[in-house]
Structure 1
Amino acid sequence: MFAGFTAVFYREMKMLVRRIGGLGYLFSGLLFPMIYLLAFGWGLGERVDVAGGYFAYLAKGMLAITVMMNGFQQTALSVSAARFYYRNFVTLRLSPISDNALVFGIALAGMVRALAAAMVIFLTARFILGVEILSWPGAVGLVLTAFAFAAFGVAVGLSIKGQEQFSIIINFFITPMTFFCGSFFPIVNLPTFVRQLVQYLPLSLTNQLLQANHFAYDTWGIALELLTITLIVYAYGVYRVRNYREF
């Protein structure tokens, strides 16, 4: 079922190594969360009262955003570029690799990209800002989120007809999650009807896991919800590959 995914994963990672050559590729993806971490942390740090301090809270939120953005955006752009510009995605479809293995290999590489970017945020928070921001529930949340959004990136990369549609996904789905899913402030501060809309979105679940210090009954429930979303998104990615047509 998953035979051959290592070849796809190796291909994606080789492409990543080439892009990182000048370091601009990596740091361009980190510029957004680092600016927000420093701007909001310095500007609002003493004015926002949350358990553990606002800098630690915000750094955890930036971890979630970094994983989401890098997992989704880089994967979707890679798949769409293979379709529209290099026109070599059909080569993967013609290879003796199952649809499950194809999506798993691409999503796994996207997960590694996302976690590598998150590691820079983690190291910055720990050694420069002096705050501990990662627990076991948070680590599980980051891994699931990275894979889920990478798999979603595969599905979107195969679904869009052009870059304009990619911008629509960013503006109407990714950006609202960035600001309303608990990365900058607890979602309990939101109006009730908004909180009910966003509390089960994957980034909200990730932030809840990041804010937890240890696993408990509720935390395991949140992790199970996030795992369910991950499996659904992965299945959707496989569906999009299975029904993909070049023309």
Structure 2
Amino acid sequence: MLGDIWTVFWRDWVVLRRRLTKYVLSRMVSPLMFLIAFGWGLGRSIDVGTGSYLDFLVPGLLAMNSMNISFMSIIPVHSERVYHKSLEEYLIAPIRPNAFVIGKIAGAVLRGMISSAIIIALSYLFGAHFAITPLFLFVLALNCMIFAEIGFLAAMYISSYEEMSQVNLYVLLPMSFLCGTFFATAALPDPMRYFVELLPLTHTSHLLRSLGTAGDFSPLSFVVVIAYAVLGIAAGTWKFRRLTD
């Protein structure tokens, strides 16, 4: 099982390694814009009560960025299934279906964590203050895992590239702005706040912000994030197995 997972993951790592320099440089552009525009620009006029707005922004930026990168990193599975028809090579290969799913998700998590490391380094250069702990990194990896799983499920169900872009429009984009990334969810009207607090990115943002500053966290948010990760891997494995029936 571990060998099968490693085989799938290693293939994605070899592809990434060949493009690593370009990947790192491209992942620096968007965070720089957010840190300059919101951290230095708009952020200097915003009072968040404790600390600077930059300190408030960075955990939310990490949550949002890891969501987008992990989701987009697994989009090639959609092309392999719909356009290139190369997914059949994995279906007939002597590897377990759940190993393929876990290996692909692990590759997306790696890309998400590399992108997050870039943001952490840049945010320290901009003067942000927050602590990086093992639990902080674990929550960040769980967030990458959740949205890689969502991307995998979308790749299994959606039949065209145009429809795949709609997932980004209707799912990822609203979460990017509403789930505690740029402002506290308490500022939202109650009906919207109740809905937003059901979403995984909200709990990741809360966890990263609390772990990075006070060092404590909400056990409920932690359980919710783990539950999303477990359900996602189970759903992805189930759907991929259906392709082999």
User: Residue in 1 aligned with 2:199?
Assistant: 201
Residues 194 and 91 (structure 1), Cα distance of their counterparts in 2 relative to 1, 3 Å cut? same
Deviating more after overlay: 151-160 vs 60-69: 151-160
User: Residue in 1 aligned with 2:185?
Assistant: 187
Maintained 8 Å contact 1:12/1:106: yes
User: Residue in 1 aligned with 2:129?
Assistant: 132
SS of the aligned residue for 1:97 comes to coil
SS of the aligned residue for 1:4 comes to helix
User: Residue in 1 aligned with 2:63?
Assistant: 64
Residues 26 and 243 (structure 1), Cα distance of their counterparts in 2 relative to 1, 3 Å cut? farther
The answer to whether residue 16 in structure 2 is matched with residue 28 in structure 1 is: no
User: Residue in 2 aligned with 1:108?
Assistant: 106
Tell me the distance in 2 between the aligned counterparts of 1:85 and 1:37: 38
2:218 alignment partner AA? T
Maintained 8 Å contact 1:2/1:100: no
1:40 alignment partner AA? F
Tell me the distance in 2 between the aligned counterparts of 1:13 and 1:222: 31
Maintained 8 Å contact 1:135/1:214: no
1:133-212 mapped onto 2 (5 Å cutoff)? 133-136=130-133, 137-212=135-210
Q: Structure 2: state its 5+ residue gaps.
A: none
Give the CA deviation at 1:223: 1.1
Q: Structure 1: state its 5+ residue gaps.
A: none
The answer to whether residue 222 in structure 2 is matched with residue 223 in structure 1 is: yes
Give the CA deviation at 1:29: 4.1
Residues 215 and 231 (structure 1), Cα distance of their counterparts in 2 relative to 1, 3 Å cut? farther
User: Residue in 2 aligned with 1:4?
Assistant: 4
Aligned length: 241
Tell me the distance in 2 between the aligned counterparts of 1:63 and 1:100: 28
Once the two structures are superposed, residues 2-24 of structure 1 have per-residue CA deviations (whole angstroms, 9 ceiling, x without a partner) of: 55111001011112223335x1x
TM score, norm. by length of structure 1: 0.90
Maintained 8 Å contact 2:91/2:244: no
Once the two structures are superposed, residues 41-95 of structure 1 have per-residue CA deviations (whole angstroms, 9 ceiling, x without a partner) of: 222212221222101111111111111011111112x212222443311101111
TM score, norm. by length of structure 2: 0.91
Tell me the distance in 1 between the aligned counterparts of 2:19 and 2:150: 22
User: Residue in 1 aligned with 2:53?
Assistant: 54
Give the CA deviation at 1:134: 4.1
Tell me the distance in 2 between the aligned counterparts of 1:152 and 1:71: 9
Identity of aligned residues (%): 28
